[in-house]
Structure 1
Amino acid sequence: MLSGAGNSSIDPKIIQAYRETHYHVRGATPLTLNVGEPNPALAALHAAAGVDCSAFITAWNPFSQQEDDPAANAVRQQALVRELTQLGLRCIDGIGQHPTNGWDGEESFLVPGLSLDAARALGARYGQNAVVWSGADAVPQLILLR
């Protein structure tokens, strides 16, 4: 599932790469999210956490421009985790990795209980083109932000 593709200013090739990316969640029970595919393990995680939604989000490589200074990505990611922690949200480490295009994986977080509106706001604040959000159906959706 894809939100906003028809009105997006994002290059369609980048959108396609986002759709193909594997969103790996590390945590106690590792799982992989794929856009548009129901995920029973994610549904179980939602149930165990007592939430009905989650978001996979990063602060790496704003607007899909690979950062020349790797430390800059780490600084942005630390700011994101501080903000999520201040909101009282749990962060589960993850990485978004396209299976074939050679783009370096991007350190990310799965955030159980992060609403769609909050995920959109955080993604925009950290210069992201998109976030991956899942509702009660545990089907990851690509949510375009531009």
Structure 2
Amino acid sequence: MDEALLEAFRSTTYHVCIDTVNWATLRIDLPLPVALAGVVGMHSWAFITAWNPQARRRPPAENLAAQRELLAALQAQPGTVVLPAIGVGSSGWSEPSLFAIGPDVVTLDQLARVHKQLAYVHGEAAGAALLRVLD
């Protein structure tokens, strides 16, 4: 991944919908916000999307179909909870995303690769949000 794209991931603001009124905002290398940490508990988590594989735009209908597939795959994981989310870049772009509580990194890596994602954000419990760059 080139330096400009890496910086785009690092400067993105990652928003998670906790309930119908409350949102939490994640930033890479910072701990989870307190409100979201209370939802996550001691579980692993990830902020992931199926939109725009390889960081290349594609038609909205294709993005939506892929996102539905990713959601179904996450919901099929035992004990996984999925919350709506959205990533917003510093230049104003945005991508609908999912915040998954429970899946392990092996599962997340596999799903990210299936959907041709270059990276996703993940962490453990209330720890720091880490950028996981895939090969």
The verdict on how the C-alpha distance between 1:55 and 1:33 changes in structure 2, with shifts beyond 3 A counting, is: same
Match of 1:107 among 81, 85, 96: 96
* TM-score of the pair, normalised by structure 2: 0.90
Question: Is the Cα contact below 8 Å between 1:53 and 1:138 reproduced in 2?
Answer: no
Shift of 1:137: 4.0
Find the counterpart in structure 1 of residue 129 from structure 2: 140
Match of 1:124 among 105, 113, 116: 113
Question: Is the Cα contact below 8 Å between 1:42 and 1:138 reproduced in 2?
Answer: no
Identical counterparts, % of pairs: 31
In structure 1, stretches of 5+ residues that fail to align are: 1-9
Structure 2: which amino acid aligns with 1:60?
Answer: W
SS, match of residue 91 in structure 1:
strand
- Quick check: 1:42 aligned with 2:36? yes
Structure 2: which amino acid aligns with 1:64?
Answer: A
> Within 2, Cα distance between the matches of 1:25 and 1:32?
6
Shift of 1:34: 0.3
RMSD between aligned alpha carbons? Answer: 1.3
> Within 1, Cα distance between the matches of 2:130 and 2:115?
19
Shift of 1:77: 0.3
SS, match of residue 131 in structure 1:
strand
* TM-score of the pair, normalised by structure 1: 0.84
> Within 2, Cα distance between the matches of 1:145 and 1:130?
6
> Within 2, Cα distance between the matches of 1:12 and 1:113?
30
Count of aligned residue pairs for this structure pair: 131
Shift of 1:117: 1.7
Structure 1: which amino acid aligns with 2:40?
Answer: H
> Within 1, Cα distance between the matches of 2:109 and 2:126?
19
Find the counterpart in structure 2 of residue 20 from structure 1: 11
> Within 2, Cα distance between the matches of 1:111 and 1:136?
12
SS, match of residue 121 in structure 1:
helix
SS, match of residue 17 in structure 1:
helix
Find the counterpart in structure 1 of residue 44 from structure 2: 53
In structure 2, stretches of 5+ residues that fail to align are: none
Find the counterpart in structure 2 of residue 79 from structure 1: 69
